[in-house]
Structure 1
């Protein structure tokens, strides 16, 4: 695990050369086909050397949930272990890790017709008005949401309309957890936060040089997309979209994309700090892959709990 730009893929590929592992992506942006540059998707050479499971699963106009990830990951992990190998889960989508290990509350599936009704209500009255309505039926959920958080307000109202129960109450119900594995949790974290910020800025500049703007143009031309879709809310894509719409200059787009990526890294590190039994390594250590490998070789067959800071 680790924040964006911490070098997770490089370490994972190094481990795959030495251990009987298969890489399982835990990344909510790598699931989208044709979104390669802005997601820092491993290139063909990397994928040939170390194939990744759970990338390129859906089209950019489709949604992909933590629940679907959990089902897909458990299926792939079972197949890997049946081959006598070890699943190596790699990524920075902390909600997916949490869903996999701790399970998810039982909530109704999305209802496209009902979502369209809610969207039409929002078009007529605005999301702040729907946030007020949510406050009447589910004040606990409304209190933690911004009045303009369209996606979460929509989901909370959808759940209430489908079940006649507030989302906050359903989330408190006991969860059934099936996770028949002993996880060894390793995190790559920055010993120097400013150095991570520089790496983020340098990586986004490299993405622009590799053709990120052209990639977003191609996506807009080939798919009926808009900024409300999860794929276009990925950091980088949203900012380039606004540049193509003329809302941002090139320089403002750069600044906003880098700032959004830094905020993403901050949120990922917050998640990591709250997780138990995680062994941390400085992602800027000169021989970090070798350090992680040595640690795993020492504990992979050892009983008991691991984890230190």
Structure 2
């Protein structure tokens, strides 16, 4: 055993359960919580927002009472959350869980957060409201594809992995360049500042048939609309000072409802647009799993998915 492997073997265990939207992560996690001495930590950049329940598929109150989730309902929809804060919050929760003699089970679909936890953080400049406001103004005039083209000149490596309408990440990459004077990709290549603090078992729930996942996505978004997603957005707008550029309102589902309520998209296209956006999200999540995170994969459509995941955990925990 080399030194790195020996070091990893001495780290306390933690389990990562990751997968695309609608892959059944929460249901599997709840089953695992009944079978193993685990506590759940949410790895979801949308479920951190208070009062955003329907569109984030947040576990209901009864489920949370039976099986509490850490890192849910942390901030208001007016605020922003980051991978750096997630790592700090997750590590604190993991420490507390271990102190209770249990194993952290981190569950979700925000792949950037998983990557930050596994590989450590890059030392990046903090968000700057003035810089972001200037970028937003330029985007309002020229459009995000134009800013993506600008990013391609300043940081072609980062631009190549971003869609031309990925406003949040294009904004952050441009912000970093303006504040640090160096491309985001160069800062990432320079090294990470925090090593993993656990021996992780990473399990990815990946569908064997993408078309079946697409059906599940369509059913779930339709159910969200039936359960009052549009009314939820109305209530959020009444309670908080929100605008379309906030991370909370950029979340899939909320963005599409916002556009309808602002008159920028037809009401009759809401279901179709929401399903399409969710499918695109799932596609990106699956790409992350296959190209970057590379967990042990289990077919989320398998009838015995719970048992397959449990078997992996039994081997890991010994």
What is the TM-score normalised by the length of structure 2? 0.86
| 1:9 equivalent in structure 2 | 26
| 1:21 equivalent in structure 2 | 38
Q: CA deviation at 1:277?
A: 6.0
| 2:178 equivalent in structure 1 | 161
| 1:305 equivalent in structure 2 | none
- Higher relative contact order, structure no. (Cα contacts within 8 Å, ≥ 6 residues apart): 2
| 1:82 equivalent in structure 2 | 99
| 1:39 equivalent in structure 2 | 56
Evaluate the alpha carbon distance shift between residue 147 and residue 293 of structure 1 in structure 2; reply closer, same or farther with a 3 A threshold.
closer
Distance in 1 (alpha carbons) for counterparts of 2:93 and 2:142: 44
Q: CA deviation at 1:14?
A: 0.8
Contact 2:52-2:232 at 8 Å conserved across structures: yes
| 2:115 equivalent in structure 1 | 98
Please say if 1:236 is aligned against 2:257.
Answer: no
How many correspondences in the alignment? 301
Distance in 2 (alpha carbons) for counterparts of 1:142 and 1:211: 36
| 1:297 equivalent in structure 2 | 314
Correspondence 1:136-215 to 2 at 5 A:
137-138=154-155, 140-141=157-158, 149-215=166-232
Evaluate the alpha carbon distance shift between residue 185 and residue 239 of structure 1 in structure 2; reply closer, same or farther with a 3 A threshold.
same
Distance in 2 (alpha carbons) for counterparts of 1:138 and 1:276: 23
SS of equivalent to 2:87: helix
Distance in 1 (alpha carbons) for counterparts of 2:137 and 2:302: 52
What is the TM-score normalised by the length of structure 1? 0.89
Which segments of 5 or more consecutive residues in structure 1 lack a partner in the other structure? 302-309
1:73 to 85, 90, 104: 90
Distance in 2 (alpha carbons) for counterparts of 1:131 and 1:283: 34
